[in-house]
Amino acid sequence: MKILVLGDVVGERTLPFLQKTLWEKRRALGADLVIANGENVCDIHGLSPKAAEALFAFGVDFITSGNHIFDRRDAHAFLNDTNAVIRPCNYPATCPGEGSRVITSAEGWRVLVVNVAGSVFMEALGDPFRAVELELERARRTYDLAVLDIHAEATSEKLALARYFDGRFAAIFGTHTHVQTADEQILPNGTGYITDVGMTGPVNSILGVTPTDVIEKMRTHMPHRFTVAQGDIAANGALFDIDPVTARTRCVTRIKF
């Protein structure tokens, strides 16, 4: 089984790019399932129901998120109504949505997708280690393999979570920093891992944002509105090739198109 993961999708202007390219790339790679982080689709902050439906139509099967998922109020009810969009599991249980869901691939594989937010240099949330443990316990015996999106700032925290859960997930990948890392690997107990899958969005940008906006903010320390950058779009991600017998990753390949 092959799972294609796309890094944070930034800006609604990225959607037409995915409409043109994703289905073809999915077929070329032989991907059975496509997962994308969608918390930045709506002009950097949030995900609307309309944008989520566009992602599904353009070739994404499942959407993970992060610390911006509640930025739009129209997403709150949507999170409760859909089985294909999740928020980090270490938010309070009273928040809309769920921290994990099981999706069935066309071949019949039941895949548990878990989403967790980091606690280092991020908003103070529940213990990510314990939160993921609880999701695995809650979903026990309902899935064939599991994957984990760690939406976090610190590389050390992502690596610590990955090492701790090595062997319990087929694949673990990081999101949030919008910069693809070059450390794709198979951990000792068979989990495929990459610290960050990168960004799907404007190339001539600073993490998807118009460069002058970010520079002005950093130089003056004054409030400044961020806008999605113009110009060419590119997608970054990773392809996990998972053994159908052992449910462990055989190969992790960085992807860019």
Strand-pair partners of 236: 256
- Do the Cβ atoms of 10 and 199 come closer than 8 Å? yes
Residue 43 has pLDDT above 90, yes or no: no
Asked if the model's pLDDT at residue 33 lies above 90, the reply is: yes
What's the farthest any 2 CA atoms get from each other in the chain?
Answer: 56
Helix or strand run (H / E) with residue 100: strand 100-104
Whole-prediction pTM value?
0.96
DSSP 14: G
Residue 45 has pLDDT above 90, yes or no: no
- Alpha helices of 98-252 — where are they, by DSSP H? 128-138, 155-164, 211-220
pLDDT tens profile 233-248 = 999 999 999 998 899 9
Q: What mean pLDDT, rounded, does the chain reach? A: 97
Tens of pLDDT, residue by residue over 61-70, are 999 999 999 9
Active site amino acids: 68
Domains of the chain plus CATH, in order, are 2-256 (3.60.21.10)
Read out DSSP for 56-92? Answer: HHTT--EEE--TTTTSSTHHHHHHHH-SSB---TTS-
Q: How far is CA 193 from CA 40, 111, 156, 210, 229, in A?
A: 23, 17, 13, 30, 30
At 244 the pLDDT is 84
- Looking at the chain, the whole-number percentage of residues with pLDDT higher than 90 is 96
pLDDT at 44 over 90: no
pLDDT band per the 50, 70, 90 thresholds, residue 49: very high
**Per-residue b or e along 94-115, where b marks 16 or more CB atoms closer than 10 Å to that residue's CB:** eebbbbbbebebeeebebbbbb
Q: Is 51 helix (H, G, I), strand (E, B) or coil?
A: helix
Q: Could you read off the pLDDT of 154-199 as tens digits, one per residue?
A: 999 999 999 999 999 999 999 999 999 999 999 999 999 999 999 9
